Structure 1
């Protein structure tokens, strides 16, 4: 995984949410949470696995909505942040955090109703093997996001010290076929890359987001989108 040592550092875990979801980054957090909720609902009694759960911002949210959820991550520092968040929200008895490798999931086949991963596949060295593991342990649904190759993300990507993996739609469809998954639905968003929003204040970010969303509703929205959300089913 790209940047694995950096990701597991204690100071990175402590500052992770403040750096990414403060200022204009709050709009990203809201949009991602809405995408996850829309895809996975209804959640009451649903058994869910989150891959690369990080600090538990999705894990705790889904537990509060009635999901029986496991959050798996490679970073113990990130998991500890998630446990603290779950305790603060009073949902720590509805979820479990585990340290583990997404390439070798410690669960039997068809163990979960749904498996999802956010902010994961852009760091994946072998996305096909990760997606196959997600499909293996899911009875039905897999949900994930990708950063898109032919978008403004490619410009921002050049500035990142460790880069990230970008995907074309053709590549995503090839990955789905290889994992035995069928596309149920997809959403495409953010003409402007995430990094731009994180650098500007809330009020300014909201103005740009209004324009960004308006473009997204036009025929140009899909080809220009920097992020895609994929809702798929086990064949």
Structure 2
């Protein structure tokens, strides 16, 4: 898995949310949470596993909506931030956080109603093996995102600390089929890559987002998007 050491650095964990989801990055955070909720629907009473939960953005959100959530991450530093976030949100006792490897999940087959993995597969060195594990522990649904090949994401990909794996649609469909999953729904967004939003104030970011959304809903919008959200069911 790319970036394990980088993500486990204490300063990275402590500054992760501020650098990515403040300023214009709030628009990214909002859209990603919307994508998760749209994909898995009402979560009250569901058993949900979040892979690579990081600082717990989605874990806390799902617990607030009544889900029984387990968040797993390789980084003890990220998990420490996630526990603080869950406690501050009033769901500290409703979420279990575990340190572990997504390639060898410490769970029984079919243990969860849904498994989500956001900001994960762009770092995966063996995506098929990881998706097999997600499918194994889910009895109903798997939801994840990818960064898109032949998009604006590739323009600045070289500048990232560990780069990103980019996927074509056919590659993702092949991975889903190979894992014994059935694609239920997919959506695509952000013609402008994430990096544009993280560096600018809210007011400018909102204007850019309006332009971005207009381009995205037009003819060929999906083809020029840089991010894809995938929802699949267990066959």
TM-score bucket (shorter structure): over 0.9
Corresponding residue for 2:86? 86
Partner SS for 1:133: helix
**What is residue 125 of structure 1 aligned with on the other side?**
125
Deviations along 1:128-163, whole A, 9 cap, x unmatched?
A: 000000000000100000000010001121222311
- 1:1-235 correspondence to structure 2 within 5 Å: 1-235=1-235
Mapped to 1, the partners of 2:55 and 2:34 lie a distance apart of 18
Deviating beyond 4 angstroms after TM superposition, the runs of 4 or more aligned structure 1 residues are none
User: How large is the RMSD of aligned CA atoms in angstroms?
Assistant: 0.7
Please list every run of 5 or more consecutive structure 2 residues that lacks an aligned counterpart in the other structure. none
Please give the alpha-carbon distance, in whole angstroms, between the structure 2 residues aligned to 1:93 and 1:180: 34
Q: Determine the C-alpha separation between the residues in 1 that align with 2:19 and 2:124.
A: 22
| Offset at residue 199 of structure 1 (A) | 1.2
Q: TM-score, normalised by structure 2?
A: 0.99
- CA distance in 2 between counterparts of 1:37 and 1:177 reads 23
Partners of 1:94 and 1:180 in 2: CA distance: 31
- What are the Cα deviations for residues 156-195 of structure 1, in whole angstroms up to 9, with x where unaligned? 2122231110000010011011101100001100000001
CA distances 1:195-225 after superposition (whole Å, capped 9, x unpaired): 1111111100100100100111112210000
Cα distance in 2 for partners of 1:160, 1:5 equals 14
- CA shift for structure 1 position 119: 0.3
Q: Distance in 2 between matches of 1:22 and 1:160?
A: 19
- Deviation track 1:23-78 (CA, whole Å, cap 9, x = no partner) reads 11110000001111111221110000000000001000100000000000000010
The total of aligned residue pairs comes to: 235
SS at match of 1:93: coil
Q: Partners in 2 of 1:76 and 1:160 — Cα distance?
A: 22
Instruction: State the SS of the aligned residue for 1:104.
Output: coil
